[in-house]
C-alpha cells in the first residue's frame, strides 16, 4: 500500500485519520477527496497542509468520472471512505443527499475499485445501522434494523460493500463506530453544539427526556481503530468500534456544563426527534480479540480536553456558526425552544 485515497477526509473523523496517518506513515501518501459540503472544512487539515505526503482534491464520490480520474492520476491502491451525509436531523428534513452520497457514492467507489483493480477498500459505517437495543450489546452478526433515513442509507452502503466482496472478491472491510466526539467536529452534533452554545450562555435544546443512551468514543481512538482494520483486518469482515462508555444524553450535557462552570438552568427539554433511538450499544469483543484494539482514552479526560479545545479555538467554530448554520438552527430549534421546558420543570 502506497497511495491512500481518503474520501470525506475534510470532515471530523476523516481529518483526524489523515492527521494521524500523515504524521505516522511518511511512506504513504494520503490523498483527500472531498466535496466540501457544509460539513467539510479545509481548516481541519491545516496541520498537514505542507506535509509532503498529503494532497487534496475536491470532488463528489457519486461522480464516477471524477473518482476514476483521481484514482488513476495518483495510482491509488487503497480507499478509505469517510464521505457521508452524517446528521440524523438533516436526514429527516431532506433525505435525498443521504441516498446519493451514502448509497450511490459508496457504489461508485466500489465499482471504480473493481474496474481499476484497486486492492483495498475500507468503509466507515456506524452503530446506528443496528437500530436501538434496550438491553445487551450488538454483535457484528446481528441483523441491521436502521430507523432513520441516515441509518438506513448507511446500511444500504454497507450492503453494497458486502456484495462487492462476495461477488467480485474485492478486499473490503467495514467498521461500525459509535458516537464519536473530539476537536474539529461540526457544531451541529450534540457535544460541540452544547459546548459552543454553553460558552455563549445560550440555552441547550435537549431532545425528549434526555434519557437516550449513547456509547461515547473519542475521535483519536476511532481513527486508530480504522488504521488497525485497514492494515490488519480480514477481507470481507465487519468490526464494531465502541468507546465502552455508555451515558444518557442528560449526563453528557451535565458534564459539559459542569466542566465549563455553567448552570444547569441552561438546559431546555424540547420536542423529541421523530423515531429517536433509545439506546445504542455494541460489543468490542471481535476487534479486541482479533486485532488487539481497545480504546485508549477515558471519557472524562477526553471530554475535558475536547471542551478545552473548543474554548481555545473559537477561530475554528465562530465562523462556522453563521449563514447556513443559523438557517438550520432556526428550522430545527426555534419552535422547539419557544415551547420548551426549563430543566427542573416550570
Residues that bind ligand NAD (CB under 6 A): 7-8, 10-14, 34-37, 39-40, 60-62, 82-86, 101, 105, 124, 126, 154, 177, 179-180, 186
Work out how close the CB of 18 gets to ligand NAD at its nearest, in angstroms, rounded to a whole number: 11
What is the full DSSP assignment across 163-220?
HHHHHH---EEEEEE-EEE-TT--TTSHHHHHHHHHHTT--EEEETTS--EEEEEEHH
Work out how close the CB of 122 gets to ligand NAD at its nearest, in angstroms, rounded to a whole number: 11
38 catalytic residue (yes or no): no
Work out how close the CB of 183 gets to ligand NAD at its nearest, in angstroms, rounded to a whole number: 12
Burial class (CB in 10 A: 0-12, 13-18, 19+), 6: buried
Give the Cα separation of 53 and 23 in Å (integer): 9
127 catalytic residue (yes or no): yes
Choose between 29 and 240: whose C-beta lies nearer to ligand NAD. Answer: 240
Tell me which of 60, 102, 127, 246 is the catalytic residue. 127
**Which secondary structure element, helix H or strand E, spans residue 55, and what is its range?**
strand 54-58
Using only C-alpha atoms, the chain has a radius of gyration, in whole angstroms, of 19
Work out how close the CB of 124 gets to ligand NAD at its nearest, in angstroms, rounded to a whole number: 4
128 catalytic residue (yes or no): yes
Work out how close the CB of 282 gets to ligand NAD at its nearest, in angstroms, rounded to a whole number: 11
Choose between 60 and 224: whose C-beta lies nearer to ligand NAD. Answer: 60
Choose between 154 and 343: whose C-beta lies nearer to ligand NAD. Answer: 154
Give the Cα separation of 79 and 74 in Å (integer): 12
Taking every pair of C-alpha atoms in the chain, what is the biggest distance, in angstroms?
A: 63
Choose between 155 and 257: whose C-beta lies nearer to ligand NAD. Answer: 155
Choose between 264 and 321: whose C-beta lies nearer to ligand NAD. Answer: 321
Tell me which of 128, 158, 227, 244 is the catalytic residue. 128
Choose between 82 and 340: whose C-beta lies nearer to ligand NAD. Answer: 82
- CB-based contact 70:57 (threshold 8 Å): yes
Which DSSP symbol is given to 79?
E
Work out how close the CB of 153 gets to ligand NAD at its nearest, in angstroms, rounded to a whole number: 9
**Long-range Cβ contacts of 137-146 (<8 Å, 24+ apart):** 137/281, 137/282, 137/283, 138/240, 138/280, 138/281, 138/282, 138/283, 139/240, 139/282, 139/283, 139/285, 139/286, 140/176, 140/237, 140/238, 140/239, 140/240, 140/286
Give the Cα separation of 52 and 205 in Å (integer): 44
Residue nearest to ligand NAD (CB): 11
**Which secondary structure element, helix H or strand E, spans residue 14, and what is its range?**
helix 12-24
Tell me which of 54, 107, 130, 150 is the catalytic residue. 150
Active-site amino acid positions: 127-128, 150
Amino acid at each position: 500500500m502506497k497511495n491512500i485515497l481518503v474520501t470525506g477526509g475534510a470532515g471530523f473523523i476523516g481529518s483526524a485519520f489523515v492527521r494521524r496517518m500523515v504524521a505516522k506513515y511518511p511512506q504513504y501518501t494520503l490523498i483527500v477527496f472531498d466535496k466540501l459540503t457544509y460539513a467539510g472544512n479545509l481548516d481541519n487539515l491545516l496541520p498537514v497542509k505542507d506535509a509532503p505526503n498529503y494532497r487534496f482534491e475536491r470532488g463528489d464520490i457519486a461522480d464516477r468520472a471524477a473518482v476514476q480520474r483521481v484514482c488513476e492520476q495518483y495510482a491509488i491502491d487503497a480507499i478509505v471512505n469517510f464521505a457521508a451525509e452524517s446528521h440524523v436531523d438533516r436526514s429527516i428534513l431532506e433525505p435525498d443527499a443521504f441516498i446519493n452520497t451514502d448509497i450511490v457514492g459508496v457504489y461508485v467507489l466500489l465499482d471504480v475499485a473493481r474496474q481499476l483493480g484497486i486492492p483495498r477498500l475500507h468503509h466507515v459505517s456506524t452503530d446506528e445501522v443496528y437500530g436501538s437495543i434496550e438491553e445487551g450489546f450488538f454483535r457484528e452478526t446481528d441483523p441491521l434494523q436502521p430507523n432513520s433515513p441516515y441509518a438506513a442509507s448507511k446500511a444500504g452502503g454497507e450492503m453494497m460493500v458486502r456484495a462487492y466482496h462476495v461477488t467480485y472478491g474485492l478486499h473490503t472491510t467495514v467498521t461500525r463506530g459509535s458516537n464519536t466526539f473530539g476537536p474539529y467536529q461540526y457544531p451541529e452534533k450534540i457535544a460541540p453544539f452544547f459546548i459552543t452554545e454553553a460558552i455563549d450562555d445560550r440555552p441547550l435544546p435537549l431532545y425528549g427526556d434526555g434519557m437516550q443512551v449513547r456509547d461515547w468514543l473519542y475521535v483519536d481512538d476511532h481513527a486508530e481503530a480504522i488504521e488497525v482494520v485497514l492494515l490488519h483486518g480480514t477481507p470481507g469482515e465487519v468490526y464494531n468500534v465502541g468507546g465502552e462508555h455508555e451515558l444518557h444524553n442528560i449526563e453528557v450535557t451535565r458534564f459539559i456544563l459542569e466542566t465549563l462552570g455553567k448552570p444547569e438552568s441552561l438546559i431546555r427539554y424540547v420536542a423529541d426527534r421523530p423515531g429517536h433511538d433509545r439506546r445504542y450499544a455494541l460489543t468490542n469483543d471481535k476487534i479486541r480479540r482479533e486485532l488487539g484494539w481497545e480504546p485508549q482514552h477515558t471519557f472524562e479526560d477526553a471530554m475535558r480536553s475536547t471542551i478545552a479545545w473548543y474554548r481555545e479555538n473559537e477561530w475554528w467554530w465562530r465562523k462556522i456558526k453563521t449563514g447556513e448554520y443559523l438557517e438550520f438552527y432556526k428550522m430545527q430549534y426555534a419552535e422547539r425552544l419557544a415551547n420548551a421546558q426549563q430543566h427542573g420543570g416550570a
